A and B are shown apart, each in its own frame.
Chain A
Amino acid sequence: MSDPALLKHSPLESAHVACGARMVEFGGWYMPVQYSGIMDEHRAVRSASGVFDISHMGEIIVSGPGALAWLESLLTNRVGKLAVTRGQYTLMLDEKAGVIDDLIIYRTGETAYFLVINGACRDLDLEWMRAHLPSDGSVVLQDQGNDYAAVALQGPDSEKILRSLFLFCDLPKRNGIAPLISSLVASKGSVPSLVARTGYTGEDGFELFVPVEVGVALWENLLAAGVKPCGLGSRDTLRLEMGYPLNGSDLSRDRTPLEACLDRFVSLDDPEKIDFSGRKALKQQCAEGLPSRLTPLKLSVQGPPLRSHYPVLAEGKPVGETCSGVLSPSLGEGIAMAYLPLALSVPGTQLEIEVRGRRYAATVATLPFYKKYTL
């Protein structure tokens, strides 16, 4: 493991250590990978509730009269469609349409936006954004990553639990954001607390952003309400069962969002969205045809858990490698994602995945891998 002294630390670290978390390095951060076990935590989120420390994620506020126009030029989704209090998933691309980061943007005021970015990308994202900021002062960018502690409360019981802790708060609807006003998370002279109804698990749930100094109190209150503490391990199995991409594994500067099957978050033909970074390259890719598609795969036989960087073969020849893979705790089957040539990305296509020199039959699946209401 990397030396913890060189890593960035969550404001909740003391609480993790106190409840027996196993800590690891993740994207430059020292974070909990698990508490009671990945299987147990995964099941808790699917059946009741679990809470994840997401303080490593970055928070950025963009405001000013030029905010909307600038964000439209920076991000792939149509920011102008957002009503105040609403959020959307979007991507930030370089000129070649490679993914710098995927993020959620919320509109918190007439000309104010709250962006939540990946922990491992905080410095790079800010650098990119500052380099592209208009020089006329019409857009103000504030990095609040170190001011916020953040947790994700996920699972079917999430709403009930939040209502019991925050009696007088209006909770947002799916993809919405609202102020979180409560003595539980009050802190003078600091950033305002926010609650968003979003997540990375496929379950109902909320992401809470509170001043760093009240983070531990919020965490402890959630645990006292019966919520299971969960680490990055189950966060990964939960997100992959839904087919949600992870930047750094499934997304990179070498792949476009069209290759990653994120077309619906890319506003290529909206007349209101004139141009954005990467648009020209995406248009060109559309004209030329996609070289590959991010493809869901499932083992067709009993086999080892799938992981990243396992070779994928078609008719005995290598055609790609897995970029994410796990043993799905809900399905009991190996699941993975791989960039494959278009002709091989059709559901039902028979392939093989090689693990330690042995080949196992695999099938192209459809997303999500885990379909809650049809099981």
Chain B
Amino acid sequence: MNVPADLRYAKTHEWIRLENDIIIVGITDHAQAELTDIVYSEPPKVGAEVKAGATAAVVESVKAASDIYSPLSGTVTEVNDALTVNPALLNTDPFGQGWIFKMKASNPAEVESLLTPEAYTAQIGQ
């Protein structure tokens, strides 16, 4: 299972990438493999306030709907419209084209509570 070294991870299987002062959020390779065929994604609204650990989006496989939790608190600045047309990007490229939303963090110190790639790898038992 792919766990890129340049990202930080939430225990609930989301990742964040820091791009200047913008944070990109997605789900991990492990998460997409567990969810299987993703057929629908419901992103947050641009401008929405999200809280660390609270539901920010929903992705659905044929079998089940799964909440996606925001790893950090802040404001949503952009959502990935490509997922509306092609939710399977979450399966095929979870760390790239399958990103879910971008945000501005209101409390950047929360990053410290996220898992390192090593810790996340250990969590998923690899």
Verify A233–B65 contact, CB threshold 8 A: no
Chain A contributes a number of interface residues (CB within 8 A of B) equal to 17
Check A38 against B37 for contact (C-beta < 8 Å).
yes
**Would you call B62 and A304 a contact (CB within 8 A)?**
no
In the docked arrangement, what's the CA distance between A303 and B63, Å? 15
Question: Given A37-B36, A37-B37, A38-B37: A356 and B42 within 8 A (CB)?
Answer: yes
- Size of B's binding interface in residues, CB under 8 A: 11
Q: Are A305 and B39 in contact (CB under 8 A)?
A: yes
**Is B115 at the interface (CB under 8 A from chain A)?**
no
At the interface, yes or no: A313 with Cβ under 8 Å from chain B? Answer: no
User: Which of B36, B58, B65 touches A34 (beta carbons < 8 Å)?
Assistant: B36
A327 within 8 A of B: yes
Q: Which of B41-95 contact A (CB under 8 A)?
A: 42, 58, 60-63, 65
Determine how close the nearest CB of chain B comes to the CB of A161; give it in whole angstroms.
Answer: 26
B37 interface neighbour in A22, A39, A326, Cβ under 8 Å: A39
Is residue A117 within 8 Å, beta carbon to beta carbon, of the partner chain?
no
| Known A37-B37, A38-B37; contact A304-B63, beta-carbon cutoff 8 A | no
A326 to B61, CA, bound (A): 10
Q: Indicate if A49 sits at the interface (CB-CB under 8 A).
A: no
Closest to A236 in B: B63
Instruction: Tell me which residues across on chain B come within 8 A of A38, comparing CB atoms.
Output: 36-37, 61-63
Contacts of B60 in A (CB 8 A): 304-305, 327
A363 to B58, CA, bound (A): 25
Residue of A nearest to B64 (CB): A307
One of B58, B62, B65 near A329 (C-beta < 8 A): B62
Please, which residues of chain B bring their CB within 8 A of the CB of A356? Answer: 42, 58
A237 within 8 A of B: yes
- Which residue in chain B gives the minimum CB-CB distance to A305? B60
Given the contacts A356-B42, A356-B58, A307 and B65 also touching, CB distance less than 8 Å: yes
Q: Are B36 and A304 in contact (CB under 8 A)?
A: no
A33 at the interface (CB under 8 A from B): yes
Closest to B58 in A: A356
* Nearest CB of A to B21, in Å: 31
Name the B residues within 8 Å of A34 (CB-CB): 36, 63
List, in ascending order, chain B residues with CB within 8 A of A37's CB: 36-37
A173 to B65, CA, bound (A): 40
Q: Is the CB of B58 within 8 A of A305?
A: no
Within B20-37, the residues touching A (CB, 8 Å) are: 36-37
A residues 217-241 in Cβ contact with B at 8 Å: 233, 237
Say whether B42 contacts A326, CB under 8 Å. Answer: no
Q: Which residues of A contact B37 (CB under 8 A)?
A: 37-40
The answer to whether A33 and B42 have CB atoms under 8 Å apart is no
Chain B residue at smallest Cβ distance from A39? B37
Kindly state the separation between the CA atoms of A329 and B37 in the bound complex, as whole angstroms.
11
Interchain CB contact under 8 A, B40 and A233: no
| A99 → chain B closest CB, angstroms | 25
Distance in angstroms between the alpha carbons of A305 and B65 in the assembled complex: 9
In the complex, chain A residues whose CB is within 8 Å of the CB of B42 = 304, 356
CA distance A40 to B91 in the complex (A): 14
23 contacts between A and B (CB under 8 A): A22-B36, A33-B63, A34-B63, A37-B37, A38-B37, A38-B62, A38-B63, A39-B62, A233-B62, A303-B40, A304-B40, A304-B60, A305-B39, A305-B40, A305-B60, A305-B65, A307-B65, A327-B39, A327-B40, A327-B60, A327-B62, A329-B62, A356-B58
Residues of A within 8 A of B (CB): 22, 33-34, 37-40, 233, 237, 303-305, 307, 326-327, 329, 356
